[in-house]
Amino acid sequence: MPSTNGHGPKRAILYARVSTDEQARSGYSLAQQIEALRDYAAREGFEVLEEVSDPGQSGASLERPGMDRVRDLVTAGGVSVVLAQDRDRFAREPAYLYLLREEFAERGAALKALNDRGDETPEGQLTDGILDQIARFERLKTAERTRRGKQRRAREGKVIGNQKPNLGFRYDEGRNGLEVDEETMPVVREIFRVIGAEGQPIYAAKKELERHGISTPYGKRGWSHAYIRKIVQSDVYRPHTYDEIAPLVAPEVAARLDEEKRYGIWWWSRWNPEEQWIAVPVPDSGIPREWIDAARERIRDNARPQSSGLRFYELAGMAYCGCCGRQMARTTTKNNAGSRFFYYRCMRRWSDSKEACANGRSHSAPKTEAEVWNKVRAYLMSP
């Protein structure tokens, strides 16, 4: 293995990363990062083995195509240092930085960022560790300010336009409210007609949509029972009178409503206890309320449990797809003997859109969890 004590060749890998949010918000450039790293490598006399980029990848996980490539190159040997412009380009969590540093050190490679304040001495590593924790604190503060800002906007009667709008609606020009989408609302109306007016099951609505060749909002050919059930249960389609809406919203929001009209309810903060939900009025969907109430009654006793409720998934919220970076979904299958098998899989694997993921593999949940925790345990026991 090449020496890193100054008497042998110094070989470097240049690593750059930018998340989708950073690209959209500040134009944080991969090209700019690589250019800065090239200049540094030239000044310090490093031979650049490879330039690796991770476009559109979050630093909250180490499961990234570019980082996988870097780790493979370091494992193969001959790498003196892995360079990045900032420490948070490697990872945003101090624990991940520590794991990478230890992994690379075992193979004779160093982890270095241009904004490092310390050196390889214990004191220098302590300095960088403190700065990492300060940076993490700043990120948490920013996230909290963002959360509070969204909560304030919801209390002002504004929809938070950070996800795909409900089927049958679209965002208004300022993305502060919803408007009825006349092209897709008939699809929602058809669902309620079949289930509510005709009293048929979800399966009948599913087959009716597929018979007419109607794709889901996510580009899939087949409609899932869970998605149709979610539509039926959503208050955004159910018309409410002014007297029903007014007690749920702030007085200034109620003052802007027309007492003669009806409104749906878009809920913010539904992941919290019900008393913390925030109601945001949206335009009337135009679907008869009796259809909606009948549809809800029709499916009230036939809701199937989600696969995630059949076991505790230890990596829920922490497992990400190595191809597209999206959080892995939890799923289950059952064989002819009735035995269940549990997996993690990428949600984009069956998408018909341009964003479809090439990762078609389902990862056994018990096996994956055991492998992950064995590695974590090994690091903790032998730091």
With a CB cutoff of 8 Å and minimum separation 6, the contacts of 199 are 294, 298
Supply the pLDDT for residue 360: 76
Q: With H, G, I as helix, E, B as strand and everything else as coil, classify residue 383.
A: coil
Provide the 8-state DSSP code for 333. E
Residue 2, pLDDT above cutoff 50: no
With a CB cutoff of 8 Å and minimum separation 6, the contacts of 196 are 288, 290, 291, 292, 293, 294, 295, 298
Mean pLDDT within 370-380: 82
Q: With H, G, I as helix, E, B as strand and everything else as coil, classify residue 46.
A: coil
Supply the pLDDT for residue 6: 46
Q: How sure is the predictor about 304, in pLDDT bands with cuts at 50, 70 and 90?
A: low
Cα dihedral value 87, 88, 94, 97, nearest 10: -60
Beta pairing class for 278-283 and 328-334: unpaired
Supply the pLDDT for residue 314: 76
Q: Mean pLDDT in the chain?
A: 84
Q: What does each C-alpha distance from 245 to 177, 257, 341 come to in angstroms? A: 16, 9, 45
Decide if 113 contacts 87 (C-beta within 8 A). yes
Supply the pLDDT for residue 22: 59
Residue 260, pLDDT above cutoff 80: yes
Provide the 8-state DSSP code for 41. H
Domain 11-116, second-level architecture: 3-Layer(aba) Sandwich (3.40)
| Beta-bridge mates of residue 112 | 83
Supply the pLDDT for residue 230: 92
Q: At 114, which amino acid appears?
A: L
Supply the pLDDT for residue 275: 87
Domain boundaries, the chain: 11-116, 156-299, 307-381
Sign of the torsion formed by the C-alpha atoms of 348, 353, 355 and 361: positive
Cβ-count burial of 351 within 10 angstroms (0-12 exposed, 13-18 middle, 19+ buried)? Answer: middle
Mean pLDDT within 343-358: 67
pLDDT per position as a tens digit, 94-146: 878 888 888 999 999 999 999 887 666 676 667 777 777 777 777 677 778 88
Which is more confidently placed, 20 or 134?
134
Q: With H, G, I as helix, E, B as strand and everything else as coil, classify residue 135.
A: helix
Q: At 335, which amino acid appears?
A: N
* DSSP calls for 62-117: S--HHHHHHHHHHHHS---EEEESSHHHH-SSHHHHHHHHHHHHTTT-EEEETT--
Choose among 359, 356, 305: nearest CA to 332.
Answer: 305
CA–CA separation, 180 and 378 (whole Å): 55
Supply the pLDDT for residue 135: 72
Residue 305, pLDDT above cutoff 60: no
Decide if 383 contacts 106 (C-beta within 8 A). no
Please, what CATH class does the domain formed by 156-299 belong to?
alpha beta
Give the H/E segment covering residue 60.
Answer: none
- Provide the token pair at 74: 């370091």
Decide if 109 contacts 65 (C-beta within 8 A). no
Decide if 35 contacts 16 (C-beta within 8 A). no
Q: Crossing angle, helix 94-105 and helix 122-155, to 10 degrees?
A: 150
CA–CA separation, 174 and 178 (whole Å): 10
